[in-house]
Amino acid sequence: MWLSKTENTDIKRKYKSYHKAFVYNNTELKTSRWLIGILVGLVIFSFLPWTQNIQAPGLVTTRSPEERPQEINSIIAGRIEKWYVKEGDIVAKGDTILKITEVKENYLDPNLLVRIEEQIKAKGGNIDFYRDKVAAIQSQQAALYQNRELKLEQIKNKIKQNELYIQSDSMALEAAKTEFKIATEQYARMQELYKEGLKSLTELEQRKQALQNSQAKVTIAENKYMNAKNDLLNARIEFNSVDREFSEKISKTASDKFSILSDISTSEGEIAKLKNQFSNYALRNAFYFVIAPQAGQITKTVKAGLGEILKEGEMIVKIVPQEFKYAVEMYVNPVDLPLLSINQKVRFQFDGWPSIVFSGWQNISYGTFGGRVVAIDNSISDNGKFRILVAEGEEDSKWPNALKVGGGAKGMALLKDVPIWYELWRNLNGFPPDFYTVKGSTQKEEKK
């Protein structure tokens, strides 16, 4: 049942709170209508989409390590002799920055490389002399081998000759013994015949003389046989003696040869060491001029003036590369880390670039720049947060060319789109943002 306007007004005026809030001088105000309109607007507004995000400060850096500001250090210790640049200068790769001179006493000789070359040549001459000596020893060894073969062959022939002498002398001895036996038997028969008177004393004496002659022949044959055996023994002893003598001479020459070869190896090792020193000294001379490793700007000189001493590895200047790709390193809380993934979109507000930011409505934000997550550290940093690296987005507007490495940035990692009422309810209850997976990273994981 609908009430008339008058009846509705009468009912409202029965309530004191309504009368005090919306009635002035017995006239009803339009404030209630406005409040109702605002409430309806807020309800409608609460259903608008809102992009959840994780906000974290960051610093402008570069994606590649070689594109970041780097120190130029002195490789060797030295004294500054001349500067070729000043702070703020733009240098190209290979430009000379400064010249230093030597301070160590081992390298003060200006003709050090010439001295090393002379030592190398001297050692090379010694090696040539040693090699000639080895060739002479090898010739001597060949002659000794040849002489030994000839001498031993000669003694072998002598041994064979003595063996033949022994054979003939043994046969002569056997013949003499047979003759002596026959003479002995004949002398015995002659004595029997002489006793019987059948033979004369003269014939007996002749047989006795023949017996003595045959006995003498046996003795001579025995002496000759023994001499032949002694000659054979002496020849064999001479063979062993000559063989041992030549072996000793050959061994001595071989020992001399190996000794010289050892000297050659030692000299070659010394030459290799000298060549190594020569190369090190030549490279060290190149370190007297400190050159720029890449194109960039000289920003900070640690040593100033002339004559200052530099230590090995000490920083001289800093150089900032001129060409690099921007990136931003951000540090997020561990609770937000599971919500981040590779290729996730991030919006940035850079220091020095005016911007109007609506964190939940990136489309109507002004002065922000887009990026994407390219790396997430697996270990926590010293500040208790996790480091992520964000590169320039390919589909977004380019980042300002005037950005400087080390400049500040405020990043907002974009998450899921939700209604505003849900985001308010989530914050009031302290719930984390909703997690979602980036399509690009999901496809890459599926490919892997």
CATH of the domain at 295: 2.40.50.100
pLDDT score for 30: 54
Phi, psi of 294 (to 5 degrees): -160, 170
8-36 mean pLDDT: 57
Q: Sign of torsion, CA 8 13 16 17?
A: positive
Mean pLDDT of 32-53: 73
* CA dihedral of 38, 43, 49, 50, whole degrees rounded to 10: 70
pTM: 0.53
Q: Is pLDDT larger for residue 205 or for residue 355?
A: 205
Kindly report the backbone phi and psi dihedral angles of residue 256, in degrees, each rounded to the nearest multiple of 5, phi listed first.
-60, -40
Q: How far apart are CA 310 and CA 74, in angstroms?
A: 7
Average pLDDT over the chain, rounded to an integer: 80
**Mean pLDDT value of segment 103-111:** 80
Q: Evaluate whether residue 348 is within a structural domain.
A: yes
CATH code, domain with 365: 2.40.30.170
Q: Domain for residue 309, yes or no?
A: yes
pLDDT digits (tens, 9 = 90+) for 67-76: 788 888 888 8
Rounded-to-integer distance, Cα 14 and Cα 32, Å: 16
Of 265 and 355, which is predicted with more confidence? Answer: 265
Q: What is the band of 199 on the pLDDT scale with cuts at 50, 70, 90?
A: confident
Structural domain including 61 reads 49-67+324-447
Q: Where among 233, 255, 283 does a domain terminate?
A: 283
Mean pLDDT, residues 344-357: 73
In a domain, 411, yes or no: yes
pLDDT digits (tens, 9 = 90+) for 266-325: 888 999 998 898 888 888 888 888 888 888 888 888 877 788 888 888 888 888 887 778
Q: What is the dihedral of CA 211, 217, 221, 224, to 10 degrees?
A: 150
Statement to judge: residues 442 and 333 lie in one domain: yes
Q: What is the CATH number of the domain that holds 165?
A: 1.10.287
Q: Tokens representing 300?
A: 């900070």
For residue 31, name the pLDDT band (cuts at 50, 70, 90).
low
The residue among 232, 266, 283 that closes a domain is 283
**pLDDT value of residue 363:** 56
Tell me the one-letter amino acid at 287. Answer: F
Distance between CA atoms of residues 157 and 148, nearest Å: 14
Distances from the Cα of 156 to the Cαs of 127, 166, 233, in angstroms? 43, 15, 12
Residues 87 and 234 in one domain: no
pLDDT in tens, 375-429: 888 888 888 889 988 888 777 778 887 777 788 888 877 766 667 777 677 767 6
Instruction: Provide the β-strand partners of residue 27.
Output: 24
Q: In the chain, what is the greatest distance between 2 CA atoms, to the nearest angstrom? A: 216
Task: Grade residue 231 by pLDDT with cuts at 50, 70 and 90.
Answer: confident
Distance CA 52, CA 347 (A): 12
Residue 123, beta-bridge partner list: none
Give dist(CA 80, CA 72) in Å, integer: 14
At residue 5, does pLDDT exceed 70?
no
278 shares a domain with 186: yes
pLDDT tens per residue across span 247-266: 898 999 999 889 988 988 98
Which of the four pLDDT bands, split at 50, 70 and 90, describes residue 52? low
Q: How many domains does the chain have?
A: 4
334 plus 421 within the same structural domain: yes
Distances (CA, A) of 211 to 122, 151, 185, 193, 379: 88, 46, 9, 16, 126
Q: Within 10 A of 335 (CB to CB), how many other CB atoms are there? A: 9
Checking if the pLDDT of 448 tops 70, the result is no
Listed residue (344, 339, 334) closest to 433, CA to CA: 339
Domain shared by 16 and 59, yes or no? no
The confidence band for 17, taking pLDDT boundaries of 50, 70 and 90, is: low
In a domain, 158, yes or no: yes
**In this structure, are 128 and 229 located in the same domain?**
yes
Residue 39 lies in a domain: yes
The tokens 């001493």 sit on which residue? 309
Structural contact between residues 282 and 113, judged by C-beta atoms closer than 8 angstroms = yes
**With contact defined as beta carbons under 8 Å apart, do 290 and 100 qualify?**
yes
pLDDT of residue 106: 79
**Under 8 Å between Cβ of 373 and 390:** yes
Q: Are residues 120 and 263 in the same domain?
A: yes
192 and 58 inside one domain? no
- Assess if residue 107 is contained within a domain: no
Domain assignment present for 60 = yes
